[in-house]
Amino acid sequence: MSGPPPIEVRDLRKVFRQTTTGQSVVAIERLDLNIAPREVVAIVGQTGCGKSTFFDLMIGLEQPSGGSIRIGDKSPYSDFDYFRGRMATVFQQDRLLPWRSAIDNVRLPLELIGLPDEVQHERSLSWLKRLGLEKFTNAYPHELSGGMRQRVAIARAFVVQPDILLADEAFGHLDEVTAAELRETFLALAREFGSTAILITHQLEEAIGVGDRIIVFGKSAALLADVRVAAWPKSEYLLLREAIQATLQSNRPDPRLAR
């Protein structure tokens, strides 16, 4: 196993031109970022600061207006097909296909890769089991609770054993207990399989609890802070939390974060 490739973001820029008004929105001004293989990174930032746009660029759904994202020696946009089965996303809300049963939703990415039917079935089934859904394999999404649906979505992301996992506010809409439980599951699995994981969140507790690193975005994805959580003893988490909070509120790096 060679492990996931490093991620290199250089001078990344994304501008949206509104077709209706003709105005342009600078979603990402100029972002530089390196993410090492197997790192677990939390991104925090206020609504509208460009987090989801960054993910769209990471996934390759959007073309950068400037700069580049390199994953290993490939670009997720130009080498779109190369990343089939190598990258997976868990979205805010589950985004399951309502006409597919739980197991058929999990199997979707495997179908796209074109694995043999039995392999698809076995793998999907074993992932549903891992996530405690063995009794609900044939249930349709509308028959499942929000937490169960998000479990299916997690299974769907892991089933391809991706190098890179993305989660965009994947647990924010669930009640706290369920959210915490699923977050734990997600991270444990990511570590077990040695994937690089990037989680967008607007909850600081979540960010501090999950990440090796916390990246704080300001307006237009300005890099306000890049915190190595290991540098902070558990006893100072409260301070860390306050410093990040202050950073977000002032849109300026808080001096306490410099260590």
Partner 1 sequence: MHREEQRESVLDPRFPRQTLVSILVFAVVWEVMSHLAPSLGIPAFAIPSFVRIGQSLLTITPIDVAVTLARVIGALAVSFVLGLVLAMAMYRSQSLENYLHPLIRILMAVPVVSWILFAVLWFRGVEFRIGFVLVAVCGPVFLIDSLDAMRGVPRELRGMMRSFRPTTLQYFVKLMLPAIVPNIITSWKINLSLAIRVVTIAELVGAVTGIGHQLAVAQELFSVADVFAWTLVLVALLFLLEAMVIHIENRLLRWRA
Ligand X SMILES: Nc1ncnc2c1ncn2[C@@H]1O[C@H](COP(=O)(O)OP(=O)(O)O)[C@@H](O)[C@H]1O
Min. distance of Cβ 152 from partner 1 in angstroms?
12
- Could you say whether residue 91 binds ligand X (CB under 6 A)? no
- Could you say whether residue 78 binds partner 1 (CB under 8 A)? no
Closest to partner 1 by CB, 61 or 188? 61
The interface with partner 1 within residues 85-144 (CB under 8 A) comprises 85, 87-89, 91, 93, 95, 97-101, 108-109, 111-112, 140, 142
The interface with partner 1 within residues 156-175 (CB under 8 A) comprises none
The interface with Mg ion within residues 34-73 (CB under 5 A) comprises 52
Q: Are 70 and 7 in contact (CB under 8 A)?
A: yes
The interface with ligand X within residues 52-71 (CB under 6 A) comprises 52-53
- Could you say whether residue 213 binds ligand X (CB under 6 A)? no
CA gap 214, 257 in Å, rounded: 11
CA gap 115, 123 in Å, rounded: 10
How many residues bind partner 1 (CB under 8 A)? The answer is 26
Q: What residues line the site for partner 1 (CB under 8 A)?
A: 56, 59-61, 80-81, 83-85, 87-89, 91, 93, 95, 97-101, 108-109, 111-112, 140, 142
Q: Which residues bind ligand X (CB under 6 A)?
A: 16, 18, 25, 27, 45, 47-53
